[in-house]
Amino acid sequence: MTFIKKPIFRHPSLPKNDLGLTYRDYEGLVSTLCAGCGHDSITASIVQSCYDLSLPAHKIAKLSGIGCSSKTTNYFLNQSHGFNTVHGRMPSVATGANLANRDLIYIGVSGDGDTASIGLGQYCHAIRRQLNVTYIVENNGTYGLTKGQFSATNDKKSKNKKGADNPFGAIDLALMAIELGAGFVARSFSGDKEQLVPLIKKAIAYNGFSLIDVISPCVTFNNHPHSTKSYDYIREHNTAMGELDFVPEKENIQAKYSEGESVDVTLHDGNSINLQKLDGNYDPRDQDKAVSILRKYRGEGKVVTGLLYINEDANEMHETLKTSTTPLNAIPMNDLCPGIDELDKLNKSYT
């Protein structure tokens, strides 16, 4: 919300984790997202997770595409190298980075436009390779940064900021991930830190492709006729002025509910979604079950959250490729370069 530098003062009594670091040490720059944006809540959950896990931040690489969501890699983990790549192509850059150094932790952040539209091919193929990354989709059903076009994860029935109907069906990124062999697939809600933080921690610990598809409301997605009078005023005003250039400040939407429960959450736009948390007895190791439960709740218009699927035996990319256990970027040139004797042999083979 502001571009002023965050003060570096740290309160001496802040709690510390096993590395002796405080929560603050895991933060990034101050967010420039809209007040109330779900993405900021996810950022906070990532910070919390890394703090809780006592991760050395410099051993984490954070990568993203382009979009409001993708900007957030700048808002957590200041001590990590970050890479805001190009729109939709983060998976390939993350794959290359991981090929070069299998020992780092990779956190990939993307948006629904970034992943489900322009990046769909790369997303699918990164999954297929079981790239060892924690892939977080900050899913708001819209193109935030380019001002509210429909994204491919948007439900068919919903309307955009201009009141137009979304014409095409939604792509379910979690279902797709399961089908393509992702080892770890979860869904959550930006406002449910209690669910999200443990999921992120598990995803980071998981050795292979872990998707967390996080529903993350967008403030600008603000066009529902049933909202408050004053809101209507703003909307009408914006319409009359021909441009949406007033974004009222909002609070992050929070949701608290327990395992097995469901809750209706009202979004900034007045629409609501029904979140259904998986219950404690759900066994996420059964792929068929995961597919059918996703299909079932979708059929009922509900969004099921929690750890949907985990494959404890999946081979991550390096295992499949049989790459050296030493990271490739750490092997000395002398060990990589075959030298003069081999070249002599090769020269002979060319005569």
Partner 1 sequence: MSNNSSYNELVLKFANVNGSGSASANTFCAKALFRMGIPVSAKNIFPSNIQGLPTWYEIKISESEQLARRDGIDVMVAMNAQTYEQDINEVLENGTFIYDSSLLRDFKRDDINIIGIPIAKLCADAYTDSRQRQLFKNIVYLGSLSLLIGIDFDVIKQLLSDQFGSKPKLYDQNIKALEIGRQYVKENIKYPLEKQVRKSNKNTNKIMINGNEAAGLGAVYAGATVASWYPITPSTSLVESFEKHAMKLRKNEDGTFNAAIMQAEDELSAVGMAIGANWNGARAFTATSGPGISLMSEFIGLAYFAEIPLVLFNIQRGGPSTGMPTRTQQSDVLSCAYASHGDTKQVLLFPADPNECFYFAIESFDYAERLQTPVIVLSDLDIGMNDWVVDKLEWDPNYKHDRGKVLNSKELENAKDFGRYKDVDGDGIPYRTIPATHPELGAYFTRGTSHNEYGGYTENGVIHAKTLDRLEKKFDTGKSLLPQPEIIINSPKTKIGIINFGSTTKAINETLNHLSSKGIGINHMRIRAFPFSKKIDNFINEHEVIFIVEQNRDAQMKKLLVNEIDSISSKLLSILNYDGMPLTAQFLIDKISEHLEEDIDINQLIAPPIKIV
Ligand X SMILES: Cc1ncc(C[n+]2csc(CCOP(=O)(O)OP(=O)(O)O)c2C)c(N)n1
Contact footprint for ligand X (CB under 6 A): 66-69, 87, 111-114, 138, 140, 142-146, 151
Find the binder of partner 1 among 159, 179, 207, 234 (CB under 8 A).
Answer: 234
Residues that bind a copy of itself (CB under 8 A): 117-121, 124-125, 128-130, 152, 167-169, 171-172, 175-176, 179-181, 288, 291-292, 295, 320-321
The site map against ligand SF4 for 8-37 (x = CB under 6 A) is -------------------------xx--x
**Closest to 175 measured CA to CA, from 164, 187, 191, 165:** 187
Q: Is 252 in the site for ligand SF4 (CB under 6 A)?
A: no
CB of 179 to ligand X, least distance (A): 21
Instruction: Give the Å distances, CA to CA, from 314 to 14, 175, 182, 216, 273.
Output: 39, 17, 8, 29, 33
Nearer to ligand X, 32 or 323 (CB): 32
The helix (H) or strand (E) run that includes residue 177 is: helix 173-179
Residue in the shown chain whose Cβ atom is closest to Mg ion? 111
Report the partner that residue 39 touches, choosing among a copy of itself, partner 1, ligand SF4, none (CB closer than 5 to 8 A by kind): ligand SF4
Residue carrying structure tokens 């970050």: 82
Find the binder of ligand SF4 among 72, 220, 222, 276 (CB under 6 A).
Answer: 220
CB of 314 to ligand SF4, least distance (A): 31
Report the partner that residue 172 touches, choosing among a copy of itself, ligand SF4, ligand X, none (CB closer than 5 to 8 A by kind): a copy of itself
**Closest to 62 measured CA to CA, from 46, 40, 41:** 46
Nearer to Mg ion, 111 or 306 (CB): 111
Euclidean distance between CA atoms 156 and 7, whole angstroms: 44
CB of 224 to partner 1, least distance (A): 15
Euclidean distance between CA atoms 288 and 291, whole angstroms: 5
Euclidean distance between CA atoms 294 and 27, whole angstroms: 34
Residues 295 and 302 sit within 8 Å (Cβ to Cβ): no
Residues 155 and 171 sit within 8 Å (Cβ to Cβ): no
The helix (H) or strand (E) run that includes residue 110 is: strand 105-111
The site map against Mg ion for 89-128 (x = CB under 5 A) is ----------------------xxx---------------
SS3 (DSSP) at 107: strand
Total residues in contact with partner 1, by rule CB under 8 A:
100
**Residue-wise burial string across 266-296, b where 16 or more C-beta atoms lie within 10 A, e elsewhere:** ebbbebebebbbbeeebebeebeebbebbee
Tell me the residue type at 221: F
Q: Is 156 in the site for partner 1 (CB under 8 A)?
A: no
CB of 108 to Mg ion, least distance (A): 15
Euclidean distance between CA atoms 242 and 238, whole angstroms: 6
DSSP states of 4-62: SPPP----TTS---TTS--GGGGB-SPP-SPTT-HHHHHHHHHHHHHHHTT--GGGEEE
The site map against ligand SF4 for 141-170 (x = CB under 6 A) is ---xx-------------------------
The stretch among 139-147, 149-157, 238-246, 258-266 that binds ligand SF4 (CB under 6 A) is 139-147
- Contacts with ligand SF4 in 53-82 (CB under 6 A)? 68
CB of 82 to a copy of itself, least distance (A): 25
Report the partner that residue 114 touches, choosing among ligand X, Mg ion, partner 1, none (CB closer than 5 to 8 A by kind): ligand X
Instruction: Give the residues lining the site for ligand SF4 (CB under 6 A).
Output: 33-34, 37, 39, 68, 140, 144-145, 218-220
